[in-house]
């Protein structure tokens, strides 16, 4: 499975965009990039996923570079409730369809 590298922490001002980077230089062609977040003492929450095209939903946007070696999760208008650990995960299949390999993630703190 491909591994990911994320910065351990970052701060963001409330109302500003938060751009969370992730490196996955060994990703292979059929592997998807997933983002989850975990607010303190809760279960992880799915945010978004993509293969090679940029994706957007009501929570965030996912920008994947053309070579797919890195991606950026964008929270367009961060709120205090976005304070959480954000995990970038490369998901393989078919041998590991059900397995999400979480790393240490990025602790994002949104400040007023």
Q: Which residues bind another protein (CB under 8 A)?
A: 32, 34, 42-46, 49, 85, 87, 91, 93-94, 96-105
Residue pair 62/35 in contact by the 8 Å Cβ criterion: yes
Q: How far is the CB of 55 from another protein (least distance, A)?
A: 12
Specify burial of residue 62 (Cβ count, 10 A radius: 0-12, 13-18, 19+).
buried
Q: How far is the CB of 42 from another protein (least distance, A)?
A: 6
Q: Output the DSSP codes for 20-64.
A: EEEE-TT--TTPEEEEEEE-TTS--EEEEEESSS-EE-SS-EEEE
Query: 18 or 35: whose CB is closer to another protein?
Result: 35
Q: How far is the CB of 94 from another protein (least distance, A)?
A: 5
């Amino acid at each position: 499975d491909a591994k990911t590298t994320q910065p351990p922490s970052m701060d963001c001002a409330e109302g500003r965009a938060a751009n969370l980077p992730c490196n996955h230089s060994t990703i292979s062609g059929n592997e998807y990039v997933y983002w989850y977040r975990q607010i303190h003492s809760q279960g992880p929450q799915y945010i978004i996923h993509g293969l090679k095209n940029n994706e957007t939903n009501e929570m965030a946007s996912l920008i994947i570079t053309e070579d797919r070696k890195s991606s950026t999760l964008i929270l367009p208008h961060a709120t205090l409730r976005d304070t959480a650990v954000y995990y970038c995960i490369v998901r393989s299949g078919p041998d590991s369809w059900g397995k999400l390999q979480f790393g240490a993630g990025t602790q994002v703190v949104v400040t007023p």
